Chain A
Amino acid sequence: MTVLHIDNVSRWFGNVVAVNDVSMTVGPGVTGLLGPNGAGKSTLINMMGGFLAPSTGTVTLDGATIWRNEQVYRHIGIVPEREAMYDFLTGLEFVRANAELHGLGAKEAQRALATVEMEYAQDRRIDTYSKGMRQRVKMASALVHEPAVLLLDEPFNGMDPRQRMQLMELLRQMGAQGRTVLFSSHILEEVEQLAAHIEVVVAGRHAASGDFRKIRRLMTDRPHRYLVRSSDDRALAAALIADPSTSGIEVDVHEGALRVQAVDFDRFTTLLPRLARAHGIRLLTVSPSDESLESVFSYLVAA
């Protein structure tokens, strides 16, 4: 059992608070660290990986402080977001060097390369690799010592769909083997496909934690705003407000449109076209007006 504990951790850079009093526990299985860009995900991962000291609070692995403790790397594998990785070496030389730094050798390096299916290109220089190949060699370098904890910072960035699926499958296996796998992402769908457990950070704060489906429901149940244009806005408005799925409507005269706030997402989306047809109204535009990820997240923070 290998558990990362983050206790009342804050981290600031000068006047800017990047992480604000976050506490979370990350245990075996795959955990997604979800949040918009700039939310503090990398700061958190850097603290868990021992490359940043918390300003206050503690980050520990099974009770051992991570900051300034090289021995902890016997149990942690890190897949950094940055691309640079001794590009003048071949994939094999690079993974082998990582194995040697752990006191291991060629056998472990070869096994790690096999795990990520990179043996076919192991004798090419890294600077000839594609983004996805680099990512897999980075994975191999983090896996040589079979760590109990794997930390990945935005591992899917820039990968094509096939590479993404392969990496997801690999991470699923790692989680199923009982390893603690934590990856960060700002893309909801990635996290949804891979992690049963998620931690959401927004603006440096810990916004939500737990089962993905629960959080997803919170996200879909939030009030949705739509901009609707039709052949008869006022008649449509009257019909919509009669139903409990709609909580508010504004007739925007300037835009020549309705601004609708719906509280029951499923019901509203099936109701709208049916109502329009029943009243002989033509729908010209139906567009969500606040579907940005940031608004979804900020709703979560408030919830």
Chain B
Amino acid sequence: MYHPTVARLTYRGLLGRRRAFILFALPALLIVISVVIRVLTGADDGTAANVLGGFALATMVPLIGVIAGTGAIGPEIDDGSVIYLLSKPVKRHTVILTKLIVAIGVTVVFSAVPTLIAGFVLNGNSQQIAVAYAAAAAVASVAYSAIFLLLGTVTRHAVVAGLVYALVWESLFGSLIPGARTLSVQQWSLALAQKIGAEGAITSDVGLPLALTLLIGVTTAATWYASRKLRTLTLAGEE
């Protein structure tokens, strides 16, 4: 189910490419913004929820998810080097699960952990806001990683497709069409945040049982389909 060599190749590939810059830049930006706000306006629960909900969970987590999820497999399929992984007696679902675990780990480290830190900086975890958003970021990391890993196996334009999903669907459609929010990883994870945070501090459009079901369902389905795609991956030759 997990192959340490696949994991090593994956995280070295993820952190060794130029895109990795964004992995460091976005969390750094979040923490800088938090420090500045805290210094200028002092601790305020409403501001904390706005920053963590509006920037961390709505923008940073999906962006990091796109980089880590698609980057865990997309570049290897693009340049053909995945052939060295696949021409081995290693089950394809082991390859996918390992890559998923690495993508989740990277997304959690670069999005959920900075969210927690930023939350403590902003209001010292008053009303459990820091912990709530960090937990939401962590569960969102799992679902985003699975979705974007699948995108990486099915399309060469995974990064673009991922960005469109993360920015257009989650942010734009979510704010225009209320129904679209039910189908949003962000709202599902907010349902968890709502449960953890103090009464009325955080709200989600989706109930917690439905949210958790959808999170687990989407993650499982995306992972299953990705390993199926990898089993029949065809490498284009010169012709």
A interface residues with partner B (beta carbon < 8 Å): 18, 37-38, 40, 42-43, 45-46, 49-53, 68, 70-71, 73-74, 76-78, 80-82, 84-86, 88-89, 94, 97-98, 100-103, 141, 153-154
Contacts and interface: CB of A to CB of B under 8 A. Distances in A.
Given A42-B237, A46-B235, A101-B5, A84 B87 contact: no
Interface stretch (B6-14, B53-61, B162-170, B212-220): B6-14
B39 interface: no
A49 B84 CA distance: 12
Contacts of B84: 85-86, 94, 97-98, 101, 141
A101 B233 contact: no
Contacts of A78: 83, 87
B83 A53 contact: no
B16 interface: yes
* Central interface residue in A77, A81, A85, A86, by most chain B CB within 10 Å: A86
Interface in B1-39: 3-6, 8-9, 12-13, 16-17
Contacts of A85: 81, 84
B79 interface: yes
Contacts of A82: 79-81, 83
Contacts of B83: 51, 78, 80, 82
Nearest to A85: B81
A70 B84 CA distance: 12
A52 B87 contact: no
A102 B88 contact: yes
26 contacts: A42-B238, A43-B237, A43-B239, A49-B87, A50-B87, A51-B83, A51-B235, A68-B231, A73-B89, A74-B89, A77-B87, A78-B87, A80-B235, A81-B238, A82-B79, A82-B80, A82-B81, A86-B9, A88-B12, A88-B17, A89-B9, A98-B88, A101-B3, A101-B84, A101-B85, A141-B84
Contact of A38 (B16, B235, B239): B239
Given A40-B239, A86-B9, A101-B3, A68 B232 contact: yes
Contact of B88 (A70, A94, A154): A70
A101 B90 contact: yes
A248 B172 CA distance: 77
Given A43-B239, A46-B237, A86-B81, 10 more contacts: A46-B234, A52-B235, A82-B79, A82-B81, A85-B81, A85-B84, A86-B9, A88-B16, A97-B9, A103-B89
B160 interface: no
Contacts of A52: 234-235, 237
A185 to B, nearest CB: 13
Contacts of A100: 4-5
A100 B87 CA distance: 13
Which are the 8 A-B pairs with shortest beta-carbon distances? Answer: A42-B237, A84-B79, A101-B88, A82-B80, A100-B5, A88-B16, A84-B81, A51-B235
Interface in B65-107: 79-81, 83-92
